[in-house]
Structure formats: C-alpha cells, structure tokens
Structure 1
Amino acid sequence: MHYAEQKLKEEKVFKDPVHRYVHVRDQVIWDLIGTKEFQRLRRIKQLGTSFLTFHGAEHSRFNHSLGVYEIIRRIVDDVFVDRPKWNKEDRLLSLCAGLLHDLGHGPFSHSFEKVFALDHEYFTQAIILGNTEVNTVLSRVEPNFPKRVAEVIGKTSENKIVISLISSQIDSDRMDYLQRDAYFTGVSYGHFDMERILRVMRPHEDQVVIKKTGMHAVEDYIMSRYQMYWQVYFHPVTRSAEVILTKILHRAKELYHDQYIFQQEPTHFTSIFEDTLTLEDYLKLDESIILYYFQMWQDEEDDILSDLCKRFVNRNLFKYVEFDPAKEYKKLAELSTLFIKAGLDPEYYLVVDSSSDLPYDFYRPGEEEERLPIQLLMGNGEIRELSRESEIVDAISGKRRTDHKLYYPEDLLIDDTTKKNIKKQIRTLLEL
C-alpha cells in the first residue's frame, strides 16, 4: 500500500479537554507528530505571556496544532465526504496543513517576532521544505508534497478550499484556539456551538461556505472572538508582560552591539543579533531557553537588563494608564524629559502600547491583508455575504477598535529622598 494511504494497525487517540479525543489513523499524521520539529511545539506556549495573567494558560502550540488537525479531520472525514465540489484527494493535504500550520512559531511568538523582524509563517514553510524530519515524512507521500503543504500554509496554493479550511474568517485554527484559550484561561467568552457550524459547512467553488440555517451559530462565534480579543488576548496585564519581554530583548541586543561583556553570554541569540540566523539556530529556540537567559540575566551588571529580567521572572510588572498618543503627545514628551531627570531611561520605562482588532470584515480587494468574507449558502443556492444577512455582524463589520495604554514602573516613582520633586511631578502628570 502506498504510504499516503497507510493506516495504523490500531487507531491512536490523544485525550483532549476541548474535543474529548483527537483521533489518528493515518500513518503519515502519526509520523509527523513524532518528528522533533513538531515535538518542539510542546515547549512553546500558545498564549505567550498570558500565563502571568491567567494562571491556567500554560497550554502549548502542540495542544492547539492537534486540535486544529482534529477539527479538519472531522470536516473532511464526516462533513465533506461525498459532497459535490469536494475532491477527496485533498484529504491528506488538508490534514497535514492543519497539523503543521503553526510549526514555525518561536518562543513567545508574536513579541519575539516583532523585536527581531521574524515571521513564523516563513519558518513554518522553511521547516516543511528544509532538511528536517518533517520534510522527510512529507516527501514519502510524494516528492512535491512538502511544497503543496507549504503553499497552503503560505496561502499561495491554487487550492483555495483547503486554504479556507485553515485560514479564513471562520476556520479550524480560530475555532480551536478560541475554545482552547477560553478553557485554559477559565473565561466563558470563547464558547460557541462548533458542532452546529461544522454540520452546516459546505465546499463551494474556491472556499468553504456556511448554510444559511447556521447563521446564528456563526454570529455567536464572531462575538466570542470579539470578546476573547479584548478580555484575554489584549488584557492590559498580559500586554505589560509583553512590553517588559520586548524591552529585555531590545536591551540584550543593544548591549551586544555595544560590546558589553555579559556574565551569561547570549549564545542562542548571537546569530539573531548578527542577522545570520539559520533554520538550525531557530529550531534550538524555545521558551525554556529564553527563560533560562532571563533567569541568569537578573545578575548582570547592566542595571536595566537586570531590573527588567527580575520584573519578568518575579512578575513585578509595569502599571498602566489610559493614553491617547494623538492627543497627549506633549504630555509624553514632558514625561520623557522628567523620566530622564529621575534617572529612568524612557526608552525602557515609559512605553506606549497599542492594541487593535477588526472582528469581522467584508472583502476589500487590494488591501495589505485581504480578508475573505464569510459566505452564506441560501436555500435557493445563492451565495450571500454574511453581513448582508446578519444585523449583528453588519453592526460590527469593518469597524476596527483600537486601545492605547502607557506603561511605567510605579514602584520606581514612589516619593523618596532622591529625586523626590521630579517623581512627584511624574506622578501628577500620570494622575496617580
């Protein structure tokens, strides 16, 4: 039997708190899960610094990737079977792309990417196409199979239906992480009727559509996503931890380029700092490595690096106030001057952080991030864009919400014998 069609002698299952069980019968999927590149995802948290806000948020990219695979498995094995416009030959491609879609995430994911201008999707494709165990497994299916999987994840594939299963405004990725993140953070916002949504999904032309009878379940899903972003993903305490994490990495890079002599040399960062990062170097990075450096850097002679690492490790985070950079730029300039006089570098201790989300959008061709709208399949076979049928979705469609906060170390602004008047002026400006 060809490798692509090989089944395990006995079905393997992973006990899962969200989907109850993750079922694996395909030899290819089982072999991919066993690769060292996929196992690395156990050492990368799904929610970055959120564990410092929600103590249960310790789940990993590994958990999530299995969940996405399971949702797609249920769609292609149960919902799409024998449906017109679904090519059963795309089954394994869909399963592999879903399983591997987050393979290139680095430690603390998006914060890490921003500091060093990295892109997890680039590394996901590099792992799939490179000299890796994952590539070896995929190549056994057929020599061109790794490229086909990478193109789906990179959204350059001609197979638009498979892309929409993994990356669209209602996809297996979002349906898993909303429920999984809600479960592990302990909040109630991320729950919606996924069973209903799966039952009414249909393959159609170049994307997956939803039967009109499932519209209310989709409305619930979109509102769940909206609430999760503002109550969990953009939680100001989590953002404070991200600000400190980002500043630690910036400081370490700055010190490295200034020829500072580290007590704990940043060996794992050297190729990043020198812009010579290889895939092999990247795969050695996980959160246990990063946290080791933070732990050791608490004892560095550089006061800023030492202080920031102590704050992150011991959860002594920055406080925050609401802030509008467009209207309060003069106040920010005044605060920066006062921080310098108080002996605090505003580059590291006075930080404006912005959060922004667009909960749902209709199609806007030519924009930097083109969002395929959710399409409803009407009873007469007509296709209608969701916001044209749903008053709830229409009310939030295309409306971006943005939030700005100013972060600072309140404990360093307490009145004391040194710089007392200056710190008092700062506290007055911050309205503390």
Structure 2
Amino acid sequence: MIYVFDKENTTIHEPFYQTSIQAHPWELALLQSKAVKRLKFLSHYGTGSFITLAKHSRFEHTVGVWAIIATHFPREDELRIAALLHDIGHLPFSHAVEKTLGFNHHTITEEYIRGEEITTILQSHGFTSERIIHLLDNDSALSHKTDFLSADHLDSFVRDAYMLGKCKVHPAKLLQNISFHQQYVEADLETSKAIMNAIYYDHTCFLNPITLGLDALLAQAISIFASNKEVQLESIKSLTNNELLQLLKESNVKEVEKILNVILWNPHKVKVYDDEIEGGLKVDVRKVYDKTPLVNGTALTSICSESEKLLYSIRALKKEYYITY
C-alpha cells in the first residue's frame, strides 16, 4: 500500500479484506512512526519466505488485524491502537530466531510503546502507553490465551494460507461472514471450516522441518557472528531483514558465510532426519496454535468431525528433527 497521509486523506483502503476504514488522526500518526513503518521490512513468514511464495510483511499483517478490529469494534479507540502496535517488537524474520536467541517480542513491544516516539504520539492525543500495554497483556478480541480465535491469529492464519494458495474463502468474503462472540471469532459452519483449513495448511508449512531448519540455521549464524565479532545479541533486535542479512554477509566469518549461502541460495541442501544423527542440529516443535473458531457460540471442532481431525493433525506436528546442511 502507498499512502501520503494528511488531513484530507484519512481513509485507508485495505486490499486484503477489500474494506475502507476511516482512520483517526492518532492512527495516521502511528502509521507514520518509524516503529510501525519498520514492520514493512520484516517478513511475516520468516525464513519460510525463502522457500515459498509467502512474501507478505509484518506491516500488512498489522494493518489487516487493525482492519478486523476497526470493522467489528469501531468505537474502541484503545483496542484499535493496540492492534496497530501489537507487533512492533518483532525481530528480523519475525519468529524465526526469537526463542532460540532468548528474545521475547512481547517484552520488546512494551519497551517500544514506552519509548519516546510512541509515547509522544499517544500523549498528544490523550492516550497513555500503559493503557495500551495493559490491553496487550490481557485477553481481548485482539489477542487472548484461549483455545479460540482472536483477530491477531485469524489474520495470520488466513493471510498465510491465502499467500500459499490454500485459502478456500476469499478474505473479503470471510470478513463479511465473521462476527465476535464476546472476544472470540465466530462464523457460520462453512466459513468456520474454511478458517480451520487455513489454520491447518499454515501449520503444515511454517512447521515444515525444512522451514524449521532454516530458522535454526539463521539463529546459528547470528550466534556465531555475535561471538566472533564480540557484539551483543541485543544489537540485532531493532534491525530489518535486509539489515541483518547485510550484517551477516559482511561478517568475513567463513561459517556464517557458509550458512547464509545455504539459507539464501541452497535450502535444498538441508537434510532432515527423524532420529539423532552425528553432527546434526536439533530442531523441535514445542508449540502449535491449535485454535478453533466458534459456530453459534460452540467450538467448531466439537460439532464437526472433519475439523476435529485437522486439530488433532496440528497437535501431532509437535515432534523433533535433526538437520544437516
């Protein structure tokens, strides 16, 4: 999307859901902030963007989540703000290296929201950073810690699946068909089944052992770089994808260059093993997002055996692999 924001141009046309939303002045200011603009240069699909056609950014996801919230909760100004800011703490390549390197993007997000840039924007319009952080730390329609779907996860699953060619309902139609039961995504049976299919296909791709292997290799390259150059890992957290890659390319560290060559140009060299192998790098799936939409207030997976099987298949993806390259 290309916008020049000014007082005469306050309508944002969101192409994924094909909806137009009147943005508030503070929302336009946040969209112009460096913290939010940086998301344009972070791939939502991490290293998976190297081996799939899923090239969308964290920014597109953020605006999509905001569009969902603004459509269904138009008068909840703080929730709309939280939607715009919920991912600003992501590292380069999103989740790819976060846990391996000991980062938590939620904590970094709170740090950035308390920072001068965002705090100044919020305060100038009568909002506080602490109220937005409170919203992000507690269950809401934006995000929650339940077995059901939030706006954040809905956009992630549907956007990823669509970019992978696996979304059975166009996102614009989907937005028309969903509602919120309290803070949980609800839809008719067919729409809910399409959402469940999107959740399943997304998992099979971002938890593919090759994708996991590339994540692990990127984290290893960063660790080797930091050790050889005697720099703190903290220095990478505010970088964009390209800034990180450039840093690694110019490291003059042979092992880093070797790993980067595999990630960028020869991912086919990654070999996956179910059992431990000498010299193999262990990668594992400890967490899945086994969420379900609601149908008339009831979990889809409790009334549809087909969707229940997909949920079990998602949970079965929890396992460990070993890779070589």
Aligned with 1:355 (options 273, 285, 288): 285
Matches within 5 A, 1:179-328: 179-184=158-163, 187-192=164-169, 195=173, 199-204=177-182, 207-208=183-184, 210=186, 214-230=188-204, 232-256=205-229, 270-272=231-233, 277=234, 284-297=238-251, 299-300=252-253, 303-315=254-266, 318-324=269-275
Counterpart CA distance in 1 for 2:169 and 2:287 is 20
Q: Indicate the residue corresponding to 1:105 in structure 2.
A: 90
Letter paired with 2:243: I
- Higher relative contact order (Cα pairs below 8 Å, separated by 6+ residues): 2
**Contact 1:113-1:120 within 8 A present in 2 as well:** yes
Q: Which deviations, in whole Å up to 9, do the C-alpha atoms of 1:186-227 show, x marking residues without a partner?
A: x332343654565452453xx33636xx13321321122012
Aligned with 1:138 (options 99, 103, 122): 122
Q: Which deviations, in whole Å up to 9, do the C-alpha atoms of 1:260-315 show, x marking residues without a partner?
A: xxxxxxxxxx233xxxx4xxx56642212211122213x43xx4233223333433
- How far residue 151 of structure 1 moved from its aligned partner, in angstroms, is 1.6
Q: 167-176 or 221-230: which moved more?
A: 167-176
Q: What percentage of aligned pairs have identical amino acids? A: 18
Counterpart CA distance in 2 for 1:227 and 1:287 is 25
Counterpart CA distance in 1 for 2:224 and 2:304 is 48
Aligned with 1:154 (options 130, 137, 155): 137
Counterpart CA distance in 2 for 1:225 and 1:393 is 10
TM-score (norm 2): 0.83
Q: Indicate the residue corresponding to 1:41 in structure 2.
A: 39
Q: Which deviations, in whole Å up to 9, do the C-alpha atoms of 1:340-393 show, x marking residues without a partner?
A: xxxxxx3xxx212223554536xxxxxxxxxxx75554xxxxx54444333334
- How far residue 33 of structure 1 moved from its aligned partner, in angstroms, is 0.1
Counterpart CA distance in 1 for 2:268 and 2:223 is 17
Unaligned runs of 5+ in 2: 1-5
Q: Indicate the residue corresponding to 2:10 in structure 1.
A: 11
Counterpart CA distance in 1 for 2:160 and 2:186 is 24
Cα distance, 1:308–1:314 mapped onto 2, change above 3 Å: same
| Count of aligned pairs | 315
Cα distance, 1:66–1:384 mapped onto 2, change above 3 Å: closer
Q: Which deviations, in whole Å up to 9, do the C-alpha atoms of 1:59-112 show, x marking residues without a partner?
A: 2111111111111111124xxxxxxxxxx4xx1112111111111101122233
RMSD: 2.9
Q: Indicate the residue corresponding to 2:3 in structure 1.
A: none
Counterpart CA distance in 1 for 2:203 and 2:30 is 31
- Helix, strand or coil: the match of 1:285? coil
**Contact 1:22-1:67 within 8 A present in 2 as well:** no
Answering whether residue 323 of structure 2 is matched by residue 407 of structure 1, we say yes
Structure 1 or 2, whichever has the larger Rg, is: 1
- Helix, strand or coil: the match of 1:165? coil
Counterpart CA distance in 2 for 1:311 and 1:210 is 42
Q: Which deviations, in whole Å up to 9, do the C-alpha atoms of 1:227-247 show, x marking residues without a partner?
A: 2210x2123332332232122
Counterpart CA distance in 2 for 1:180 and 1:254 is 37
**Contact 1:319-1:407 within 8 A present in 2 as well:** yes
- Helix, strand or coil: the match of 1:116? coil
Letter paired with 1:227: Y
